[in-house]
Amino acid sequence: MAHVTFIHGIANKPPAPELLRIWRNTIANASDPLPLGDLGVSSSLVYWADLLYEQPETDLSAYEGVLENTAEAIDGGGDAPAVTPMSPEEAAFLEGLRHEMTGLSDLELEAEDAPAVPTQPQGALERVPLPWFIKRRFLKAFLRDVHHYLFDVTYAPGGGTPVPIQQTIRRRFLDALEAPIVTRPHIVVSHSMGTVIAYDCLKRLPDCVPVDGLITLGSPLGLDEVQDKLQPEWSRSDGFPQTKVAGRWANLFDRLDPVCGFDPKLANDFRRGGSAAVEDTAVQNDGAWRHSITKYLRQPEFNRTLRELLRL
């Protein structure tokens, strides 16, 4: 009848079957329930955390609940190592992306005593009312995961066989879209760094099969540093992936989500023939950490949009 392909965002994650189950249950138990299985909608997950993290998360409570007292609960699982730039371009990219998140120095971030919250926060992460020892884990994961994908770093966790990260994730995304389980209409639901991967494939890879709709949640695609790495295929006047997205592109954001909060709207940056085409919708997630995908999936606006795209 219909199919949804999900793709996750930054940081470590539980095993793929558990993560997909959690997301489907979240959608089914939202205030505007959308039980995909009961409606005959199949689904799959583009999973890539194993390429950057040695072992999947085993404590599922951080992904099923709403508590924000661990790094895992705020997308900081896996304790990613710091990135060593290999070129001036990489150094400038990391510094620019880091500045979007915080104006604190490395010494302040790594100090045993938590740095004071600036009276005038310079970065999106500084506005989040959570301890810095938790936010620091998120920042490291964010910088490392985004960098390794956009620069196609050859990497393997824990002494494994290194692979080119971008090329390998691209192949997984393309394979997922072409899998026999896929039926039409086919909708891609992406979160966080997953929105960059989905866009990269749908806009920049000629052999990517078309889909019938795209939903982006908490997307960093509005950041200049990310857009610069999507050129030359991306341009502000013609950034919409119109040859691969036959229907709508719906973008949901929370203004207090640190990943998208400084530039959450995408319509002006991803136009179709010079005209706005992305549907930007503001939502208000609960709690201190607004980036969580389960909070986006519980939003009535999300389920309503997905229902419409699936033609249910």
260-273 residue pLDDT tens? 978 999 999 999 99
Burial of 85 (0-12, 13-18, 19+ CB in 10 A): middle
Mean of pLDDT values over 268-284: 97
Per-residue pLDDT band at 25 (split at 50, 70, 90): very high
Mean of pLDDT values over 231-258: 97
Mean of pLDDT values over 184-207: 98
pLDDT the model gives residue 78: 87
What residue spans define the domains of the chain? 2-62+161-310, 69-159
Buried b (16+ CB within 10 A) or exposed e, 271-288: bbeeeebbebeebebeee
Per-residue pLDDT band at 226 (split at 50, 70, 90): very high
66-88 residue pLDDT tens? 778 889 999 998 889 989 999 99
φ, ψ for residue 90, nearest 5 deg: -65, -40
pLDDT the model gives residue 106: 72
Q: What is the mean pLDDT of the chain?
A: 93
φ, ψ for residue 101, nearest 5 deg: -90, -40
CATH entry 3.40.50.1820 includes domain 2-62+161-310: yes
Q: What is the pTM of this model?
A: 0.96
